[in-house]
Amino acid sequence: MADLYSQADLGEMINDGQVLSFEANAAITKGQAVKFVAVAGDLPKVDVAGAGDMAVGVATKTVVQGEPCPVAGLGAIIKVTGSGVITVGGAVKSGAAGVVAAGTRLTDATIFATALQTFADGDTGLILVGGMA
């Protein structure tokens, strides 16, 4: 496992991208991709995104269920953990347990970011949320 950007911690943004806060539906760890969970009559909550889920961003803080969870969204450059091989400039989607994986543009509706570095399995590095997704 390689740390491709040692100047930031996992889940840390390195720019002034959008951050919105949503109530955590379960425990979430800083740096995990998150998805919306529908709640009747209220704002959506967030939960850890898994493989095949449509992620909306990346948690910037470790929280427990019921706490506000800040989520790095559109325009955020943030450090995450990759699963499998992800190529710089490639499409990024949610993988298992909140890590990110390579996606395919135009055919994968779950793309939410672009890789800013090439990742090997287990590497940590930077993605651009919403960028060219």
In this prediction, residue 1 carries a pLDDT of 79
Greater confidence (1 vs 13) lies with 13
Q: Is there a domain that residue 41 lies in? A: yes
Q: Does residue 86 belong to any structural domain of this protein?
A: no
Q: Cα(62)–Cα(71) distance, rounded to whole angstroms? A: 11
Query: Looking at residue 74, what is its pLDDT?
Result: 95
- Count of all residues that appear for the chain in the document: 133
Residue 132: what residue type?
Answer: M
What are the φ/ψ torsions at residue 25 (nearest 5 degrees)? -80, -20
- 46, part of any domain: yes
Eight-state DSSP code of residue 125: E
The pLDDT assigned to 132 comes to: 65
Owning domain of residue 49: 19-72
Domain count within the chain: 1
Which of 7, 128, 116 minimizes the C-alpha distance to 72?
128
Q: What percent of the chain has pLDDT over 90?
A: 89
**Residue 49: its pLDDT value, please?**
98
- Convert the pLDDT of each residue in 87-126 to its tens digit: 999 999 999 999 999 999 888 899 999 999 999 999 999 9
